[in-house]
Every structure is written in C-alpha cells, then in structure tokens.
Amino acid sequence: MTLRRLLTVVVALVLLVYPFVVNSFWLVQIGGRTLGFGTIVLSLVFLTAYTGMLSLAQMTVAGVAGYATAYFTAPTGGVGLELAWPVALILALGLATLAGLLIGLVAVRTRGIYTLMITLAVAMAFYYLTLQNYAVFNGFTGFNNVEPPVIAGLDLGAPLPFYYLSAVLAVLCYAGVRHVVRTPFGLALQGLRDEPQRLQALGYNVPLLRVLAFGLAGFVAGIGGILNLWLNASISPGSVALNPVIDVLMAGVLGGIGHPAGAYVGAFVFTIVDNFAIDFIARERFNTLIGLVFLAIVLFSPDGLTGLVRRAWARWAGTGRRRDDAPDDSTNIGK
C-alpha cells in the first residue's frame, strides 16, 4: 500500500516537473499527446477491464466530441455554427456521452468478440459517414484551425497551459474512473463482467448497466477527443478512420487492458514509437513496427507492459504474496 502511495507521489511530481526538463516538442507532441490520447485509451480500458466489453468505437466517440467542438467553435467552409466556448464544450461532451450510450444500446446484447465486431462496424460506418457527408462533417476536408479558447488572457493553446490542461483533465479522468469502480455502480459493472446471469438474478438491470458504462466511457473519450482535436488543430475523416480506431486498441493492449494505468503507459509507448520510428526503421514503415510490437504483446504478454512489469515485480519481490492464483484479467475479458 505504501508502495502505491509512493508511486502516486512520484507520478504527480513527474507530471508537475516534466515541462521544466523537456523542450517544447516533448512537452506537446509527447506529453500532451500521451495525456489526450491516453484519456481516449482510458475509456477503452475502463470498459474492458471493468465491464468485459472490448469496444473499438472509442475513437469514434472521441471523434464525435472533436467534430462537435470544431463545428461549434471553428466553422470551416460555411459548415458550422459558432457558439460561446462553454456552450460548445458542454454540447460536445453531451453528444459524446449520447454517442456512447447509443453505441452501448447497439452493442448491449452482444458479448466478447461480437461486441468487438459490432463496435468496429459502428466505427467504420461513422468514418464513411464523415467522408460522404458535407452538410455536417464537411466531407473529406473536415474542420481546420480549431483553437482552444483563451480564458482571462490565458491562451490554452500555448504549450505550457495546454500541457497542464491535459494533465489536469487526464488526472481527473483517471481518478474518476478509479473512484467510479469502487461505487456500487462500478461494483455492479464488475459483477456483470464476471457473472451476468447471477447479477440479473439479484435484480440488477444488466442491459441498463452496460449502456450506462458505455455512456460514461463516451464522456471520458469525449474529453480525450477534445484534447486530441486541440492538439491537432484540425479534424477530418482521417481522424476516425480504421487506423486511429485500431491505434486506441493497440495502445490499450500495449499498456495492458486490465488496469487503467495501462492506458497511459500504452499511450506513452505508442506515442514514442510513433514519433521515433523514423529513426530506427525506414520512413513510413511505422505501422509494420507497431504492428509487430502489438503482435508480440498479444502473443507473449496478453496483459500488456503493465502486466509484464507486475509479473516481474511479483517474481522479484514476492515470496510472500504469490499471484499465481490471481485471476488473469486479460484472458478472461469478454468470456
């Protein structure tokens, strides 16, 4: 327990001090991206770890929030409706939550691999919709020059404020997820992950719980989506295409989809590989590299890097507490 507290303090210190030891590229492109993208991954990990549903539509929900924010704050090519930023952000998060709920409604009667397939179909349908539709999504071009608001003279788009904004939101989301899973609602979710029938027999409304979990994940993904939008300053169908949709899954699996911390670990590793793949492999072959890394993780350590570390730690530290009999989170997902 003390170790966990120590770890929390260390992470908090690193997050605070980080901007003062790195240059602006590392601050925004690595730090900011890890925190924003990681929050989208967090929504996937939350769903997977605590409800057993592996959704591939979390980038889509993030895209809904991103598109909504862009639509209401940065009209492009005559598409959009400029609103005050607080209204725009509330609308964006509301729509993301709604999108999460609707996807949950579509996927609610499915389990495991079917959830994966149906959420992927939803994600791809949304991608083709953004590509085909000009009235709302401005087609292939999407929205450009989306800037974060300036609040009381503080430009949230500047590197340092943007980093801290991302860090605060990421910490809030992480803490929120950790808190929710300890509430009666979160415990019920874990119950339905393990024994849906038993939970049903106890009088819980299992489909409703599942849909609500998707809604909450939609809200978290929406926050990540808005951060991601501001980081890129633009959004287009390419932001919700198959590749980014799979990227979220890959980051989650890399970090370990059994624990929320895995989300940010995975997002960090993914961002690092994304940015520096060029240096140790031929240009543009990033996908081959990350694909092979992903495959290796799936083959050899299904609970990801955090699982790897946890097991190494248990072996190194633990004669006292053997974890061999502990349930293996990742192999049971969706069963």
Partner 1 sequence: MEALLDINWRLFAIVTLNGLTLASLYFIVASGFSLIFGLMRVVNMAHGSLYLLGAYIGFEVSEATGSWLLGIAAAAVVVGAAGAALQVSILSWMQGQDLRQALATIGVSIVAADLMLAQWGGSAYQITLPGAVSSFVPVPVAGRYAMARLMLIGFALVIGIGLWLMLNRTRVGMLIRAGVDDRRMLEALGVNVPLVFVGVFAIGAGLAGVAGVIGGSVLSVSPGEDARYLLSSLIVVIVGGMGSIPGAAIGALLVAMAETYGLAYTPTYGIVYTFAIMVAVLAVRPQGLLGRAA
- Binding interface with partner 1 (CB under 8 A): 54, 106, 109-110, 112-114, 116-118, 120-122, 124-125, 128-129, 132-135, 241-242, 246, 249-250, 253, 284-288, 290-292, 294-295, 298-299, 302, 331, 333-334
DSSP assignment of 275-318? HHHHHHS-TT-HHHHHHHHHHHHHHH-TTHHHHHHHHHHHHHH-
Q: How far is the CB of 243 from partner 1 (least distance, A)?
A: 8
Distance, CA of 314 to CA of 310 (rounded, Å): 6
| Residue 16 DSSP one-character state | H
Our CB check for partner 1 shows the closer of 246 and 261 to be 246
Helix 112-132, helix 85-107: angle, nearest 10:
130
What residues contact residue 182 under an 8 Å CB cut-off, 6+ apart? none
Q: How far is the CB of 334 from partner 1 (least distance, A)?
A: 5
Residue 161 or 302 having the CB closest to partner 1: 302
Residue 88 or 277 having the CB closest to partner 1: 277
CB of 329 to partner 1, least distance (A): 12
What Å distances lie between residue 189 and 115, 130, 192, 257, 312, CA to CA? 16, 33, 5, 16, 29
- With a CB cutoff of 8 Å and minimum separation 6, the contacts of 159 are 19, 24, 27, 28, 32
Q: Shortest Cβ distance from residue 110 to partner 1 (Å)?
A: 6
Burial (CB < 10 A; 0-12, 13-18, 19+), residue 182, is: exposed
Torsion of CA 242, 248, 251, 257, to 10 degrees: -120
Beta carbon nearer to partner 1, 23 or 133: 133
Give 102 or 173: the residue with its C-beta nearer to partner 1: 102
Indicate the residue among 86 and 291 with the shorter CB distance to partner 1: 291
> Residue 148 Cβ, how far from partner 1 at the closest point, in Å?
30
Supply the minimum distance, in Å, between the C-beta of residue 42 and partner 1: 19
